[in-house]
Amino acid sequence: MIRNKLVVLYGSQTGQSESIATDIHEDGVFRNYDIELFCLKDEGKLFNISEINCAVMVCSTTGDGDPPENARKFIRNLNRKTLPENHLSQLNYALLGLGDSNYSTFCGGPKKLEKSLKKCGAKSYYNSAFADDATDMEDVIEPWLDGLWPAVEKFFSNKKACMSKNEENETTVIESSAENDTNSENNVINFSGVTAAKIQSCNKSDAQSTKQLNDKEITLNSKDTNFNINLQEVSTKFLDMRICSTQVPLEQCLQKGSDELSNLDLSLPCTFPIYLEIEYLENQLPTSGSYQNGTKFPVASGEIIEAKIDNIRQLTSDDALKRTLEFTLISDKMFDFKPGDSFGICCENEDSEVEWLIKRLALEKSADIPAQLSISKNTPKKSVPAFIPLVFTIRQALKTCFEIRSVPKKPFLRALVECTSDPAENRRLQELVSKQGASEYAQHVREANVCILDILATFVSCQPSFCLLAQHLPRLMPRRYSIANSPLGVSNAIKFAFNVTRFDSHPSRTFTRNGVCTGMLEKIFDKKHQKGLDKTVRIFPTKSTGFCLPDDLSRPIVMIGPGTGVAPFVGFLEHRLALKPSGDFVLGESWLFTGCRHQDKDFLYKDTLEDFKSNGALTHLKVAFSRDVTRPQPKYVQDSLKLCSHEMMKLILSSDAVFYICGDARNMAKNVRQCFIDMIAKCKNCSDEEANAGFKKVVSAKRYLEDIWT
């Protein structure tokens, strides 16, 4: 039986596709569609793809062009040779794919999904889009989402089956007519240039007449009757508040737009009601124990454990441009791992930022009172986010549950418009979320990595409730790090290295900040007390990406990892060294290409790597120094590769060697990949196209593996 409803399906590895699919589902609920949300892995259990008439699909890519784990079985089932060509002839779909062109295969996961869908007779009613994390995903995602609902509306209109359930005037679902062929090419909608179906117009005079709330008392939340505030008092008091000592004055960018934009009538996206309600429970205690209510992370392959920080050491000199730290963690419950695996660290937001946010929202009196979230009776299809404890405090939630450093999406800013009383500030927020202000949103919000702290520091009359923030702030996600040791050493310990990330102030960012996780870890570091610290962190194993040593250790390996990209290779070499005396085999040839700025300042693991070379675990060590005047060449790892091009071509073209690349995706990984293609073209005296085809064969054979990040 074909079901006349809209179904949102997702395949997600890290949670990003799931988040987008959830937003689409939420949008559909508020647009009164009969809509459901499922993961692709639940096909045959919670839904049957052969019974779906209209679907929206969001799918990501993992590894080098692979579908996410929770979509692989779905795709395999569609590729069964026993299925007829018209198996999914009833299915009409819209597909959003997520990928990263820093990898050699872009959007391989969603493209494999679409190929399988078409093979079974499914048809698209809206052009598929593929967002690239190497540039900016939002450049594709945003216009695709803007055009999605007009496409859905047109599809159901053409099928003469109204899915909308209007509360005031309940409509009757009309069976689709066979003569309406919505699957023809003429009925496929292109997302470029399509605007949202529901918009609200606003001009400058509208903003000037914004209702003034400054002299009135309001309640923070619908059930919070105890904590009334005066907005004028809050705004005045806020002028003396600072997030940190390095806060700087804002230039005219986030706060003030172009003169041209300020004179335009604006088209705004629709705003949706707040469906979360908060109730304070003064006689109860917050739910204790598990982090984020025990809700599992998408990348996790095991449970969260508490690990003790056994040792911290600084790998760089004090005058190095970046500080690199190595942590050693120990636990009696340490999970199993292999060299090359990564693990996740559960983060907490900076105390000073949480405290600032509490004061800015005038929540000092209620921040530490146990509370509970519930769903408004008007939105029964919604649910409280699973990662929020049943009973919590606002301080606890802001510290451990929400990503307060995330860039606010347009629906969030649109909701903040309704909470902003000053006409000029209200107008500016409208500009940033409007169709006409798309370029200014991209420049001053998204590209500037602005967060809710910056928004509230800039627009001082904006006074959102905690429930509004809880509805729009994403979940605080873990940060992943490569393991830099072998389990054959100390089995209950893992080591990892990282650069302390710093973000300087910016015309749109109101304060200098460290990375959420690296800042949290750096605060623990004290040169005087590096061993036996009485500190713990929450960690968990993550799903393997196949970035591991070959089973046959006699195979040659080439490792390329400048900076902290060298960390997993320390684990590789430690593992090879541990196996060397006990194995009835000869270790294969091994190459390590690494690099840093200065030989004497930030050459990570220098002594360790030289020891590996002297004892035979490492055959060749090649180091590049990009800013060292005493060692002007080679400057980068690709320069070192070119100097060894003869050996590299022999390994890549005439052996079963495995190549590993770890580190920066935006520059290093792309440059290294191009370096190999250029060397192949020169070696074989062929065209770039032929060389690229030959390189892709190496990638397809799983002989070129990447663990890269942006």
Q: Which of 224-228, 408-412, 659-663 has the lowest mean pLDDT?
A: 224-228
Q: Count CA atoms within 13 Å of residue 617 on its CB side.
A: 20
Nearest to 322 by CA among 700, 601, 538: 601
pLDDT at 230: 43
Q: How far apart are the first and last CA of the chain?
A: 46
Q: In what order do the strands lie in the sheet with 557-560?
A: 620-625, 590-596, 557-560, 658-664, 704-709
pLDDT at 639: 97
Residue 77's CB: how many other CB atoms inside 10 A?
A: 16
Strand ranges in 424-550 using DSSP code E only, listed in sequence order: 479-482, 493-499, 502-503, 513-514, 536-541
Give Cβ neighbours of residue 461 (< 8 Å, ≥ 6 apart).
214, 231, 235, 420, 421, 422, 425, 426
Stretch 281-300: mean pLDDT, rounded?
87
Structure confidence at residue 373 as a pLDDT band (50, 70, 90):
very high
Examine the fold and report which residue of 172, 195, 218 is the final residue of a domain before the chain moves on.
195
- CATH number, domain containing residue 125: 3.40.50.360
Examine the fold and report which residue of 151, 178, 195 is the final residue of a domain before the chain moves on.
195
Q: What is the pLDDT of residues 442-476, one digit of tens each?
A: 999 998 999 999 999 999 999 999 999 999 999 99
Q: Is 319 a member of any domain?
A: no
Q: Is 336 a member of any domain?
A: no
Largest CA distance in the chain: 83
Strand ranges in 371-467 using DSSP code E only, listed in sequence order: 371-375
Strands 123-132 and 199-202: unpaired
Examine the fold and report which residue of 195, 214, 245 is the final residue of a domain before the chain moves on.
195
Structure confidence at residue 162 as a pLDDT band (50, 70, 90):
very low
CB 626 within 8 A of CB 597: yes
Question: What does the buried/exposed string (b/e) look like for 4-14 if buried means 16 or more CB atoms within 10 Å of the residue's CB?
Answer: bbbbbbbbbbb
Structure confidence at residue 132 as a pLDDT band (50, 70, 90):
very high
Percentage of the chain lying above the pLDDT 70 cut? 85
Return the amino acid letter for 527.
K
The two three-digit tokens of residue 440, written as one number: 């200014």
Structure confidence at residue 63 as a pLDDT band (50, 70, 90):
confident
pLDDT at 282: 83
CB 494 within 8 A of CB 506: no
Residue with tokens 């393991």: 483
Q: Is 525 a member of any domain?
A: no
Q: Is 613 a member of any domain?
A: yes
Structure confidence at residue 351 as a pLDDT band (50, 70, 90):
very high
pLDDT at 528: 58
Q: Is 299 a member of any domain?
A: no
Stretch 490-508: mean pLDDT, rounded?
91
Return the amino acid letter for 329.
L
Residue 181 clears pLDDT 90, i.e. is over it: no
Percentage of the chain lying above the pLDDT 90 cut? 68
Q: How many domains does the chain fold into?
A: 2
pLDDT greater at residue 668 or residue 224: 668
Nearest to 68 by CA among 18, 6, 136, 121: 18
Element (H, E) at 440: helix 438-441
Structure confidence at residue 240 as a pLDDT band (50, 70, 90):
very low
Strand ranges in 147-270 using DSSP code E only, listed in sequence order: 199-202, 217-219, 228-230, 266-269
pLDDT at 158: 81
Return the amino acid letter for 8.
V
Residue 249 clears pLDDT 50, i.e. is over it: no
pLDDT at 499: 96
Stretch 153-157: mean pLDDT, rounded?
90
pLDDT at 213: 33
Nearest to 196 by CA among 546, 435, 425, 428: 435
Q: How far apart are CA 358 and CA 367, in angstroms?
A: 7
pLDDT greater at residue 533 or residue 615: 615
Q: What is the pLDDT of residues 544-601, one digit of tens each?
A: 889 999 999 999 999 999 999 999 999 999 999 999 876 667 899 999 999 999 999 9
Structure confidence at residue 48 as a pLDDT band (50, 70, 90):
very high
Q: Is 179 a member of any domain?
A: yes
Q: Which of 156-170, 307-321, 378-392, 491-505 has the lowest mean pLDDT?
A: 156-170
pLDDT greater at residue 263 or residue 624: 624
Q: Is 58 a member of any domain?
A: yes
pLDDT greater at residue 447 or residue 55: 55
Residue 172 clears pLDDT 70, i.e. is over it: no
Structure confidence at residue 638 as a pLDDT band (50, 70, 90):
very high
pLDDT at 242: 52
pLDDT at 101: 86
Average pLDDT for the chain: 86
- CATH number, domain containing residue 639: 3.40.50.80
Range of the domain at 604: 557-709
Q: What is the pLDDT of residues 182-194, one digit of tens each?
A: 333 344 555 443 3
pLDDT at 200: 41
Q: Is 702 a member of any domain?
A: yes
Q: Which of 51-55, 284-288, 299-303 has the lowest mean pLDDT?
A: 284-288
